[in-house]
């Protein structure tokens, strides 16, 4: 067999293996997510965590330039050598696909968090309503504690670099309850691609090759703690967006700092209100009346920020990411972001907010 066919064929083998993996979550959980991955992620964060800028973003920039250069070089010979060029592309994709899964993405196939924490997934409308009302009381309480004025929006007083370090307090408190949420060796950075990320409609992402958590540094700061805690949840091996929203909320609300607690509770409340807005407009309007005006001003601040970057670009990327998630064992796709409410409602059945 010619060597140029080996990597493309290995790409096909990888796809077949990934079709089989969903049937073996216990194997992935034990040997990868709680075994090999912990060693890989710790090593990556030790090596890159102290570097103040995003190494992963720099690597992506170089690769994009090299890709453009290659396409430019082969543009005239494409018709004559199209088979060889396609094989070269498939070979590169095969290598990237292999390292993408080895370094992080096998986590998509681990045991679901609701099984790990023994939390139910289903809830009734009555349970959601009771939870939403409790959430309103709690978020109102924290907003007033900070501002002493129910009509004043929260203004986050810390720098972004300070916020990254402060995230550790919430994770340390969370790990006392559930050791598998333990976070070690900080490697959270402002993305060099914050403006493109904003146009794409994303607050951050995890670089799976360098294990750096990237956060969009343009977004409203009251949301910054929650978003960075979400990306840190990806770093400790949780791939599901709904699970990372859930962990991000818990790491925020268990922080000793009130601004962090506000970030987590207000995020969860916004999703609960969104569900009621779709489910029952009358109930939504009644609930909204009980929310402090200051909180609604923060929601408006966030809405206005994303609205100014709302173009066909973010819609296109959301469609792409939706399909990407579905391909990677996340059947709900982009809808999975809101599925964390299932975990929240059932988690707090036996706990106080």
**pLDDT tens track, the chain, 353 positions:** 577 888 999 999 999 999 999 999 999 999 999 999 999 999 999 999 999 999 999 999 999 999 999 888 888 787 778 888 888 899 999 999 999 999 999 999 999 999 999 888 888 999 999 999 999 999 999 999 999 999 999 999 999 999 999 999 999 999 999 999 999 999 999 999 999 999 988 999 999 999 999 999 999 999 999 999 999 999 999 999 999 999 999 999 999 999 999 999 999 999 999 999 988 999 999 999 999 999 999 999 999 999 998 877 666 756 775 676 667 766 765 565 568 899 999 999 988 88
What is the C-alpha separation between 100 and 85, in angstroms, rounded? 22
Residues 184 and 318 in one domain: yes
Domain extent for 200: 113-347
Indicate the number of domains in the chain.
Answer: 2
What is the C-alpha separation between 63 and 58, in angstroms, rounded? 9
Q: Which among 195, 259, 183, 254 has a CA at the least distance from the CA of 224? A: 259
Residues 166 and 181 in one domain: yes
Residues 104 and 122 in one domain: no
Burial of residue 266 (CB within 10 Å: 0-12, 13-18, 19+) is buried
User: Rounded to 5 degrees, what angle do the CA atoms 165, 260, 276 make?
Assistant: 140
Residues 37 and 170 in one domain: no
Residues 244 and 299 in one domain: yes
Residues 199 and 313 in one domain: yes
Specify the DSSP element, H or E, that contains 119. Answer: none
Residues 104 and 145 in one domain: no
Residues 156 and 61 in one domain: no
- On whether residue 76 sits in a domain, the answer given is yes
Residues 154 and 248 sit within 8 Å (Cβ to Cβ): no
Specify the DSSP element, H or E, that contains 316. Answer: helix 312-327
Residues 28 and 84 in one domain: yes
Q: Residue 286 corresponds to which tokens in the numbers above?
A: 């009644």
What is the C-alpha separation between 216 and 199, in angstroms, rounded? 11
- On whether residue 352 sits in a domain, the answer given is no
Q: Which among 135, 157, 159 has a CA at the least distance from the CA of 146? A: 157
- On whether residue 322 sits in a domain, the answer given is yes
Q: Which among 337, 334, 308 has a CA at the least distance from the CA of 322? A: 334
Residues 209 and 277 in one domain: yes
What is the C-alpha separation between 233 and 247, in angstroms, rounded? 6
Q: Which among 275, 273, 300, 297 has a CA at the least distance from the CA of 287? A: 273
Residues 267 and 252 sit within 8 Å (Cβ to Cβ): yes
Q: What is the pTM of this model?
A: 0.92
């Amino acid at each position: 067999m010619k060597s140029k066919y080996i990597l493309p064929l290995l790409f096909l083998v990888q796809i077949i293996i990934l079709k089989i993996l969903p049937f073996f979550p216990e194997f992935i959980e034990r040997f990868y997510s709680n075994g090999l991955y912990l060693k890989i992620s710790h090593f990556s964060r030790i090596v890159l965590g102290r570097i103040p800028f995003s190494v992963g973003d720099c690597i992506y920039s170089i690769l994009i330039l090299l890709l453009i250069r290659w396409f430019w070089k082969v543009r005239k010979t494409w018709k004559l050598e199209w088979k060889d060029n396609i094989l070269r592309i498939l070979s590169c994709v095969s290598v990237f696909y292999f390292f993408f899964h080895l370094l992080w993405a096998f986590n998509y196939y681990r045991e679901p968090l609701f099984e790990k924490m023994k939390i139910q997934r289903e809830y009734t409308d009555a349970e959601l309503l009771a939870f939403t009302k409790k959430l309103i009381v709690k978020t109102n309480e924290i907003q007033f504690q900070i501002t002493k004025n129910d009509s004043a929006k929260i203004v986050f007083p810390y720098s972004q670099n300070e916020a990254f370090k402060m995230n550790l307090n919430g994770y340390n408190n969370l790990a006392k309850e559930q050791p598998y949420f333990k976070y070690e060796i900080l490697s959270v950075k402002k993305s060099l691609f914050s403006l493109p990320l904003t146009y794409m409609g994303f607050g951050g992402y995890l670089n799976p090759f360098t294990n750096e958590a990237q956060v969009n540094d343009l977004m409203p700061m009251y949301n910054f703690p929650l978003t960075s805690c979400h990306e840190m949840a990806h770093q400790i091996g949780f791939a599901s967006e709904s699970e990372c929203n859930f962990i991000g909320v818990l790491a925020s609300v268990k922080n000793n700092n009130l601004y962090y607690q506000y970030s987590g509770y207000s995020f969860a409340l916004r999703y609960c209100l969104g569900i009621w807005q779709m489910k029952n407009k009358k109930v939504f309007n009644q609930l909204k009346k009980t929310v402090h005006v200051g909180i609604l001003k923060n929601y408006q601040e966030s809405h206005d920020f994303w609205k100014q970057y709302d173009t066909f670009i973010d819609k296109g990327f959301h469609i792409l990411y939706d399909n990407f998630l579905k391909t990677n064992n996340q059947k709900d796709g982009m809808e999975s972001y809101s599925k964390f409410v299932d975990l929240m409602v059932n988690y707090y059945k036996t706990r106080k907010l």
